[in-house]
Amino acid sequence: MSKFAPYSEPFEQFDVWFDQAEKSEPEYHNAVAVATSSPDGLPSVRMVLLKAHDERGFVFYTNFESRKGEELLKNLNAAMLFHWKSLNRQIRIEGSVEVVTLEEADAYFASRPRVSQIGSWASKQSRPLEGRLEFEAQIAKYTAKYGVGPVPRPPQWSGFRLIPDSFEFWEDRKFRLHERQQFCVNEGRSGWEKQALFP
C-alpha cells in the first residue's frame, strides 16, 4: 500500500518524514546535500545543515565568499537531497534561491555557540590554507577582538532559502521495486501537481 497517497501537497509529507528522521537517525537528521553550479554550468555538491524550513522554503547558512556562496549569488538555482539510511528514504528538492533577510541572519547567528561565531570570522572559507596554525592564529585574533560582549555577524556570513519548484519523495521497497512520488509547482505557483514515477 502506498504511503504517499494521503498527502496532496509536499510540505506536509516533508514534515512527516523529517520528524520521523529526527527520531531514527543517529546524528544530523537535518544534514542535506546542496548542489550548485558555476555560471558556465560546472556542478558541485556538499553537505550542509538545514536550519529552518516552512512553506517559504528551506534555509541553510554559509559564508558568501565560499564556493557555494559565490556560485549561488551568480546562479540562483540549486538542488537539495536528504537521505535517511535508517528509514531507507530520500527527498530531492529543486528550485531557486534567495538570500534570507538581515533579521533572519542576525537572529540565527546570535543563537550559535560563541566558538562557532568566532570561527565564522576566522575562516576564509574555501580559500587556500598554509596549515592549521594559520587558522588557529585567526581564531586567537578574533577571540581577543571579541573578548567581551556579543560577537557581531560577519558581513559575508548569511543564509540562503531554497524556494522549491519540485519535490521527489523516494522510498525503498524489496527487490528494487521502489516507490517515487513527484510534486511540481503549477503555473502561477498557486498549487502542486502530483505524479507517481516508475522507480
Catalytic residues: 176
Report which DSSP code applies to 5.
T
CB 153 within 8 A of CB 105: yes
Nearest to 89 by CA among 193, 8, 19, 183: 19
Burial class (CB within 10 angstroms; exposed 0-12, middle 13-18, buried 19+) of 193: exposed
Q: Which residues contact 124 (CB under 8 A, 6 or more apart)?
A: 65, 138
Give the helix/strand (H/E) hosting 54: strand 52-54
Looking at residue 191, what DSSP letter applies?
Answer: S
